[in-house]
Amino acid sequence: MAAPAESTSKTPTNKKLKKSKNTDETELLTVPDGWKEPKFTPEDNPKGLLEESSFATLFPKYREAYLKECWPLVQKALGGVFINATLDLIEGSMTVNTTKKTFDPYSILRARDLIKLLARSVPFEQAVRILEDDMACDIIKIGTLVRNRERFVKRRQRLIGPKGSTLKALELLTNCYVMVQGNTVSALGPYSGLKEVRKVVLDTMKNIHPIYNIKTLMIKRELASDPELRTQSWERFLPNFRHKSLSKRKQPKKKTVKKEYTPFPPPQPESKIDKELATGEFFLRESEKRRQKMNQIKAKQAEALSKRQEQRQKAFIPPKEKPAVKKSKPATAENKIDIQAIKEKVKKAKSKKLGAPPVNPVMPSAKDGKRKKVKS
């Protein structure tokens, strides 16, 4: 009787395990809205660190003046977490190290990232944000991704965009600060944004225009704002950009067909004597040989002369003329001559002869007579 009691006690625990497996993993992975990790305080590590840690990095010559100017601000920012910072202008290096008062073990890694960003031309106002808990940085090396220098410069400029518009759009979508300098791209921001920035930068260097990735980021941003679509798959909404099939390479007009490889050497060409022996010219006398050559030359001259005369005669051959036949138009009602109208026109012309009196003479008025008398 004890055995069935044990089996009944195991069944509810199995059901609980099945329910826990069926629960969405996304609910466990997502962080609740408004939740922040509590700050690391001296009370969390009252005894401090056991040993001293230090990191150093070199900086280029053109950053020397700026670093010298802003170094007091760097020391002040790192002094809040009890980390020493030294600037060596002779060697051209920056060093950060922990002290006995340092309580946060991760602060030295943040200080290391700070001096790395300062060496890569990131301004101090942006680089100091790395000391915050929710901030991270990523320095992407792009110098070795493209072999051709001119192509590399074009693609790097494509990432920046006209007047920095592409870079600004990327910063707004990822909430990161991006700095393109030389052979590296420095990014500073949240972890999710840094992941997107790295993808866009690497795709741009692989000849994929950044506008495609920016468009997908804009769609993702709109989908993330919708609470219903947050847990669903976004593949149906995201655009699929296909590569354009490039036109085939132009084929040359004259193609050289390679002959099949044979280990044997080609046959030896026939010499002049062999050719003469084959035709029988070798056994002829010199006078006969000269006569044959002269006959060949005369035959060639006769052909050339005949061709020249034919070309001259072409100029005197009249071209074939086409017979000039005028097409008679069919007599229509409009084209028919009106004989009666022509007769009337002829009569009017005869009546209007030169010097003939007008048909309706105008009588001179009394006023005209008076004017003539005055003139006389």
Higher pLDDT among residues 159 and 376, named by residue: 159
Q: How far apart are CA 233 and CA 229, in angstroms?
A: 8
pLDDT in tens, 39-87: 888 888 888 888 999 999 999 999 999 999 999 999 999 999 999 999 9
Q: Which amino acid is at 176?
A: C
* CA pair distance 166, 178, nearest whole angstrom: 11
Predicted local distance difference test score (pLDDT) of residue 225 = 86
Q: What are phi and psi of 138, to 5 degrees?
A: -145, 125
83 class by beta-carbon count within 10 Å (0-12 exposed, 13-18 middle, 19+ buried)? buried
Superfamily of domain 42-133: K Homology domain, type 1 (3.30.1370.10)
Domain ranges of the chain: 42-133, 134-241, 284-314
pLDDT tens digits, one per residue of 72-125 = 999 999 999 999 999 999 999 999 999 999 999 999 999 999 999 999 999 999
Query: Is 134-241 a CATH 3.30.1330.10 domain?
Result: no
134-241 has the same fold as 42-133: yes
- Residue 43 token pair: 């009370």
Cα Rg of the chain, angstroms: 52
Rounded distance, CA 118 to CA 186, Å?
Answer: 10
Q: What is the pLDDT of residue 193?
A: 93
Residue 13 pLDDT: 47
What is the pLDDT at residue 29? 67
Q: Give the DSSP letter of residue 120.
A: T
Q: Which residues pair with residue 55 across a beta bridge? A: 96
Please state whether beta strands 93-98 and 136-141 pair in parallel, antiparallel, or not at all (unpaired): unpaired
Q: Using pLDDT thresholds of 50, 70 and 90, give the confidence band for residue 277.
A: confident
Angle between helix 191-205 and 165-174 (nearest 10): 150
Q: How confident is the model at residue 26 (pLDDT cuts 50, 70, 90)?
A: low
pLDDT in tens, 173-219: 999 999 999 999 999 999 999 999 999 999 999 999 999 999 999 99
Task: Give 278-318 pLDDT, tens digit per residue.
Answer: 888 888 878 888 888 899 999 999 999 999 999 999 888 88
Contact 89, 68 (CB under 8 A): yes
How many angstroms separate the first and last alpha carbons of the chain?
A: 172
222-255 tens-digit pLDDT: 888 888 887 788 888 888 877 666 666 777 888 8
pLDDT, residue 76, reads: 94
pTM to 2 decimal places:
0.57
Gap between the Cα atoms of 86 and 79, Å rounded: 12
Contacting residues for 67 by C-beta, under 8 A, at least 6 apart = 59, 87, 94, 118
pLDDT band for 18, please (50, 70, 90 cuts): very low
d(CA 161, CA 163): 6
Tokens of 256: 């050289």
The per-residue pLDDT for 96 is 96
Burial of 68 (0-12, 13-18, 19+ CB in 10 A): exposed
